[in-house]
Structure 1
Amino acid sequence: MGSAQIFFLFSFLQLLFPTLPSLEATPLDNTRLFREYIGADGNNVRFSDVPIHPEVELHFILSFAIDYTASSSPSATNEKFRVFWDDQILSPSSVSSIKAQHSNIKFALSLGGDTVGKQFAYFKPKSITSWVKNAFESISRIVKEYDLDGVDIDYEHFKAHPDVFTECIGKLLLRLKHQNVISFASIAPFDDDAVQSHYLALWRKYGDLIDYVNFQFYAYGKGTTVSQFLNHFETQTSNYQGGKVLASFATDGSGGLTPEKGFFKACRTLQSRGKLHGIFVWSADDSKKNKFHNEIQAQNLLANTD
């Protein structure tokens, strides 16, 4: 029986049994999403410094808003978030200006981060109720002031049970989305038992509120190979099942698979499998010294112009 006859027979059977699967190929899930953290290191980097390909969707992720004071000995403020980037350079007016020039740009606010001052930025709420209330009010104020579009959750140190983290972050995201304060949300876990226990608990209960998983693949060891990266990617895709796990690299020399060692080769493999949901970079502050060479290559790859 020829292929045309098989297709005709299958189509006839579908009329009789409409629950039969379609012969049409599953559409690829590649996207042209490029995301980059900016502002964490205070290197005077500006939005206008970063190359912007017109055919990608580019998210600047402002880093960081932290629920700590900005004193020489910072202390927790019970979820009253404040801006910790240079708000003179990365200002509300600069956000407005770059948005006016490029319709393909969106902005997110990243919460938490690694450290504040010289100490860890811990997640340690006094109560779920007070955390959600104070966080919602302070984050809404920042989002409105800067005309931001989304939030990113990047807590990396915890003095709270995973269930408490889950309820605080989940209820915050639910409220921010339902009241149209934000249009998207992401999380930024990495392969550490304590970190994963918190984010996976959040994912299991509130994963439907999380649009992107900014998995920190650069937190794996230096010297990561292409095959190891692809294995790590499959593992985390399985962990965050159904989520858009983004490929990532760092330009601060921290670790993982670097562009010089085959990151873009790995991305092309993911692209061929329909699994390249986007790329994100840590961070613009570190990329400035190399004139954003890797960012240009990443965006060209996403736009299929490399």
Structure 2
Amino acid sequence: MDSSKLLIALFVFQVFFPYHMSIQAAPENSDLFREYIGAEFNNVKFTDVPIDSNVEFHFILSFAIDYDSTSGSPSPTNGKFNVFWDSDNLSPSQVSSIKSTHSNVKVALSLGGDSVGDSYAYFDPSSVDSWVSNAVSSLTDIIQEYHLDGIDIDYEHFNANPDTFAECIGKLVKTLKNNGVISFASIAPFDDDDVQSHYKALWQSYGDLIDYVNFQFYAYDQGTTVSQFINYFNTQSSNYNGGKVLASFISDGSGGLTPENGFFTACSRLKSENKLHGIFVWSADDSKRNGFRYEKQSQALLAISH
């Protein structure tokens, strides 16, 4: 074969069998462990939580909310975020300290959450542009003050349609990343029609900017079995196609598949199929009561050669 034909043959081979195809297409396990902290004001500290040096560890401060924080009945502020987590115990200096002590730790903040005061916390923008402008400004201030690395989106109640939500959140994440303010972003949906319609719209338009899907598998019924959990996991992996969907449990045992009933069995099965992109827990505040035993077990599983 002369050299020109050889080059053509090589070119054809590369077109039909690109070198990186198998690498990109294969799902992969990860050693990522994430934990929400600070929503329940029970004096939990970063230093209370065991941190395995062989995992990537994200604390997620809960929550920053675009509501005013001073009045007895908080009201929406159109993207002007305030700190609603236990900032006495989870302060900027404590963030700096835990990150300097543990090089594998990053710290994020979560937006929204279920409630503020005694009421639901609504996503309630006046307009896309005004909300994004306010959110970029207020969150940049908080993120820089607290030395944070990323954000998580956990709105669960909406006074806006899915397209408006997608544009607001998508543009916020894009701007914060482009400005170098954050290095990662996640979303935290659960299996509810209204919730899913909003997050799937965001995923469709801006999924390439979302690094992790903290799917709230603990929002499924208490008593979920291992096989049900695997089915739920596969369903949500197709809903957020191409996303790193993390396995999750709630440490007060109130929903989903619990560690006592086979959560780690399910994770081991996902791991054997190269689908365990990480584990997250709601929350450190509740885990404090049981000595963080399942945080240790989660990290031990993730640390085994992934």
TM-score (norm 1): 0.93
Q: How does 1:99-114 map to 2 (within 5 A)?
A: 99-114=99-114
Shift of 1:27: 5.3
Question: What residue is the counterpart of 1:155 in the other structure?
Answer: 155
Greater Cα shift, 13-22 or 167-176? 13-22
Partner residue in 2 for 1:200: 200
Q: Amino acid of the residue matched to residue 17 of structure 1?
A: F
CA distance in 2, matches of 1:186, 1:38: 16
Judge which range, 210-219 or 62-71, deviates more.
Answer: 62-71
Q: How does 1:32-181 map to 2 (within 5 A)?
A: 32-70=31-69, 71-181=71-181
Once the two structures are TM-superposed, the CA of residue 14 in structure 1 deviates from its matched residue by: 7.1
Structure 1 unaligned residues grouped into runs of 5+: 1-12
Root mean square deviation of aligned Cα: 1.6
Aligned residue number for residue 10 of structure 1: none
2:304 partner amino acid: N
For 1:20, which of 11, 17, 30 is the aligned residue? 17
Provide the rounded CA distance (Å) in 1 between the counterparts of 2:17 and 2:110.
Answer: 44
Is the CA contact 2:111–2:151 (under 8 Å) kept in the aligned structure 1? yes
The residue type paired with residue 262 of structure 1 is G
Matched, 1:232 2:232: yes
Would the aligned equivalents of 2:40 and 2:86 in 1 still touch at CA under 8 Å? Answer: no
Task: Identify the residue that residue 4 of structure 1 maps to in structure 2.
Answer: none
Partner of 1:88: helix, strand, or coil? Answer: coil
Q: 1:75 to 1:304 in 2, by over 3 A?
A: same
> 1: CA distance between counterparts of 2:10 and 2:41?
61
Distance 1:304 1:28 in 2: 17
- Conserved? CA contact 1:14–1:20, under 8 Å: no
| CA distance in 2: counterparts of 1:65 and 1:17, whole angstroms | 52
In structure 2, how many angstroms separate the alpha carbons of the residues matched to 1:41 and 1:262? 27
Q: Give the CA deviation at 1:105.
A: 0.1
Please list, as runs of the form range in 1=range in 2, the aligned pairs for 1:244-283 lying within 5 A after superposition: 244-283=244-283
Tell me the distance in 2 between the aligned counterparts of 1:209 and 1:288: 33
Whether the 8 Å CA contact 1:55–1:303 is kept in 2: the answer is yes
Question: Matches of 2:174 and 2:35 in 1, distance apart?
Answer: 24
* C-alpha separation in 2, matches of 1:235 and 1:15: 38
Shift in Å at residue 79 of structure 1? 1.2
Q: CA deviation at 1:304?
A: 1.4
Query: Does structure 2 retain, via aligned residues, the 8 Å contact 1:68–1:74?
Result: yes
The whole-number CA distance in structure 2 between the counterparts of 1:214 and 1:14 is 42
Question: What do the CA deviations read for 1:86-130 (whole angstroms, capped 9, x no partner)?
Answer: 211100000011111000000111000000001000001011111
Structure 2 counterpart SS, 1:34? strand
- Aligned AA (1:186): S
CA distance in structure 2 between the aligned counterparts of 1:16 and 1:145, rounded to whole angstroms: 54
Structure 2: how far apart are the matches of 1:200 and 1:161?
12
> CA shift at 1:72, angstroms?
1.5
Which residue identity is paired with 2:68?
T
Secondary structure class of the residue paired with 2:255:
coil
Q: Deviations over 1:240-271 (max 9, x none)?
A: 00000000000123200000000000000000
- Which consecutive segments of 4 or more residues in structure 1 shift more than 6 A? 13-16, 21-26
